[in-house]
């Protein structure tokens, strides 16, 4: 999968200039996930679409990346919706009462949300797709 991204970026330099790689790398997160079978997974992803307020503070991110089962070599593409817990908590504590009476620690970029992943495997010389879904928790770099 990574090789495909590199080949596409190098094969079409005009298209590569349209992609803001700085923004993609800035949005990279690593996290832990649990699928519907209670398998522990690790993943890395980046934000491709962000929903934010007028000041640019992110609340919900749509992400793509790669997911790998921790105790196996199986991996798959990852599609994830991340709720920005750090920014949502700041929004909750932004009332005048909260500003006067509560202090929220500065949190790292923290996301929590559902994910969907697709992995493939060979069964009797046929390609079978397994759909995984669950929840994840990730921290930004």
- pLDDT tens digits, one per residue of 1-11: 555 555 555 55
Phi-psi region of 56 (alpha: psi -120 to 50; beta: other; left: phi over 0): left
pLDDT, tens digit, for every residue of 53-64? 998 889 999 999
pLDDT, tens digit, for every residue of 113-125? 999 998 777 788 8
Please tell me the predicted confidence (pLDDT) of residue 59.
93
Cα–Cα–Cα angle for 70, 72, 77, nearest 5°? 75
**Residue 15, pLDDT above cutoff 60:** no
Please tell me the predicted confidence (pLDDT) of residue 2.
57
């Amino acid at each position: 999968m990574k090789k495909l991204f590199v080949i596409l970026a190098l094969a079409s330099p005009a298209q590569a200039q349209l992609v803001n790689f700085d923004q993609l790398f800035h949005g990279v997160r690593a996290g832990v996930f649990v699928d519907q079978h209670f398998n522990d997974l690790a993943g890395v992803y980046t934000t491709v679409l962000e929903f934010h307020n007028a000041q640019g503070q992110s609340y919900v991110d749509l992400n793509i990346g790669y997911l790998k089962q921790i105790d196996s070599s199986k991996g798959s593409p990852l599609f994830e919706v991340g709720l920005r817990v750090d920014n949502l908590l700041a929004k909750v504590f932004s009332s005048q009462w909260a500003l006067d009476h509560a202090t929220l620690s500065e949190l790292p970029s923290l996301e929590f949300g559902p994910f969907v992943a697709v992995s493939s495997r060979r069964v009797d010389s046929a390609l079978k797709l397994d759909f995984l879904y669950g929840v994840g928790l990730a921290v930004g770099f």
